[in-house]
Amino acid sequence: MPNKEMLFIPGPTPVIDEIYDALSSETWAHTDPRFVRIFSEAIQKTKDLFQTDGEVFIIAGSGTLAMEMAIVNVVAPGEKLLVVSQGYFGDRFIDLGRAFGMEVEALQAEWGKQIDPEQVRQKLAEGGFKAVTVTHVDTSTGVAADLEALVPVVKEAGALFILDGVCAAAGVEENMCKGYGNGGAKIDIVLTGSQKAIGVPPGLGIVAFNRSALAAREELGQISAYYTDIKNWLPIMNNPGKYYATPPVNMIYALNKGLEIVMAEGLEARYRRHRALGRAVREALGVYGMKALATEEVAAPTLSCILYPQGVDDAAFRKSLADKGVVVAGALASLAGKAFRIGHMGNVTEEMFGKAIRLIGDTLVELGQPDARDFAVRTFHEVYQSQLKECSSV
């Protein structure tokens, strides 16, 4: 199934033929030994992706459902949850926590900036926080969280570290066995969806718990959830032949194939590719007078929020670009109409983005902007290749 458009929104991302082929395979019974084998393989590959010493949970749903699953299983009503937000989707944890009766407090960075770890340390010093949520890459701003600084601060305070990896997993390292900082602090929970850097269509919520997070669930006893209670899913994740709720059979096929592709590329190679691609896209768009909201020091490898040069109408730009087969997303909240968001993650290629950079230039010329197409395309390819070499030598 050839893609007719280059879908460069924050997600879903372009789906390649191998994954479409898996998705369109014959639907087997969810208890069929052939499906059980595939589901078991997908579970193991997901554990390999996050390097968890605990368990992973793969269920039908969106990233938002995974966010709910992450917090409701470790924070009880009345317990304190600290939300560390670097944009619109970080803020979503505020409403989620309050919906379950948690005592939620939030630290919100200026859009385009990282949160100051010292602010987090001072807030946690007030005491009593059960867990802290951090969005690894906020889809509204293109800002990546500084895990090296934040994970130790949270763990020093004795709180669980919950990482929203929706716009990062399989594009940015999220290794739950890795020690951050000098003390070897580790991430407790990572959540994501299937449709972004993993490169599979939307439809799966994915959550990884390490042993400390599983122990926190045990301590809670009964929780205010049923479908998202990991204790109901744990027997199925240990033996997919068991039944709790009907799994999305064809989406599991697709996930298994998607993760096979991820692992075949190699995690380190995939992370290098995403870093190089993000930098190259931003520098090429800079040739057109477009500026990323996030500076390179805090910019995400997987997505960028790009401010328009003066005189470019958002709706006209995105419509004309879409007519050429390149789909980008509008900006959110106060940035609506002033910027667009472009995803550069998943199973995308240098060739695709080289073409997209030229088509963006075509659109800008149509809207009365100077012609810098050749230089922008050349900049993209040169920066991409040089960044790949630089990242490989690090």
- Asked if the model's pLDDT at residue 391 lies above 80, the reply is no
Written as six digits, the tokens of 87 are 């944009």
Give me the mean pLDDT over the 333-360 stretch.
97
Percent of the chain with pLDDT over 90: 96
**pLDDT band per the 50, 70, 90 thresholds, residue 228:** very high
- pLDDT for residue 394: 57
- The whole-angstrom separation of Cα 180 and Cα 159 is 15
Please name the helix (run of DSSP H) or strand (run of DSSP E) that holds residue 192, with its range, or none.
strand 189-193
Please name the helix (run of DSSP H) or strand (run of DSSP E) that holds residue 117, with its range, or none.
helix 117-124
**Interval 114-166: pLDDT, tens:** 999 999 999 999 999 999 999 999 999 999 999 999 999 999 999 999 999 99
**Which residues lie across from 145 on neighbouring strands?**
none
330: exposed, middle or buried (Cβ count in 10 Å: 0-12, 13-18, 19+): middle
Go through the domains of the chain in sequence order and give each one's CATH number.
Answer: 17-264 (3.40.640.10), 267-393 (3.90.1150.10)
**Interval 279-330: pLDDT, tens:** 999 999 999 999 999 999 999 999 999 999 999 999 999 999 999 999 999 9
Nearest of 225, 200, 199, 205 to residue 67 by alpha carbon: 205
- pLDDT for residue 107: 98
**Which residues lie across from 137 on neighbouring strands?**
144
- pLDDT for residue 1: 59
- Asked if the model's pLDDT at residue 2 lies above 80, the reply is no
Chain-centroid distance, C-alpha 310: 31
**Interval 51-95: pLDDT, tens:** 999 999 999 999 999 999 999 999 999 999 999 999 999 999 999
- Asked if the model's pLDDT at residue 172 lies above 60, the reply is yes
- The whole-angstrom separation of Cα 341 and Cα 362 is 18
- pLDDT for residue 390: 81
**Interval 197-210: pLDDT, tens:** 999 999 999 999 99
**pLDDT band per the 50, 70, 90 thresholds, residue 3:** confident
CB 60 within 8 A of CB 251: yes
**pLDDT band per the 50, 70, 90 thresholds, residue 393:** low
Q: Taking the model in full, what pTM does it have? A: 0.97
- pLDDT for residue 183: 78
**Interval 184-199: pLDDT, tens:** 899 999 999 999 999 9
CB 39 within 8 A of CB 240: yes
- pLDDT for residue 206: 98
Nearest of 99, 113, 164 to residue 134 by alpha carbon: 164
CB 2 within 8 A of CB 18: no
**pLDDT band per the 50, 70, 90 thresholds, residue 392:** low
**Interval 361-385: pLDDT, tens:** 999 999 999 999 999 999 999 999 9
